Amino acid sequence: MTKKSLKYNALIASMEISGDCPSLTCSKPQLEAFRWVTLPVDESLNYLPNILRNQAKGRPARSHWPDDTFKCSCCGLSMFTSKEAAVHKFSSIPELNRKKLGFTHVARATITLDHGLASIPNREGHFDFFEYEDFDTVASFKLDSSL
């Protein structure tokens, strides 16, 4: 069996992360995943890692990185294990920051072991998803609800 390539290998390499990214604790998931999006839900910017999304929107690059774990996390897609977790986390962000982020809805997809690698969800249900090159993220996500 050949090893699948990650879609954003070049981004990960450019970040000069010491250690493994994604982490060796990441696994091949089989779960329903939820993600913050804007309308239209099939807008490709909705499915870029934060670093690339910010670049595409003309936002300045981050000048300080707390650590390599954070750098690695920013190379994956932020996802949640439930719609409730996604909505709860978004509502916990200060209103000014929510407006800057611009997300208005939650989208849902079934993620399988053929789609990529997922970090272990934290206690808030958030995890990072590192998609394989051949996974069509845009086509896989469907609108679920408003935030």
Q: Which helix (H) or strand (E) holds 86?
A: helix 83-91
Token pair belonging to 46: 């909705």
Res. 65 pLDDT band, cuts 50 70 90? confident
pLDDT at residue 1 greater than cutoff 90: no
Res. 26 pLDDT band, cuts 50 70 90? very high
List pLDDT tens digits, range 2-22: 579 999 999 999 999 999 999
CB proximity list for 22: less than 8 A, separation 6 or greater: 6, 72, 76, 117, 119, 128, 130
State the pLDDT at residue 2: 59
State the pLDDT at residue 133: 96
Domain segments of the chain as ranges: 9-146
Residue 92 CA: distances (Å) to CA of 49, 52, 95, 96:
21, 24, 9, 12
Cα end-to-end span (Å), the chain: 41
For 104-128, what is the mean pLDDT?
A: 97
State the pLDDT at residue 103: 96
pLDDT at residue 62 greater than cutoff 90: no
Q: What is the mean pLDDT of the chain?
A: 94
List pLDDT tens digits, range 105-116: 999 999 999 999
Token pair belonging to 136: 């069509």
The whole-model pTM stands at: 0.93
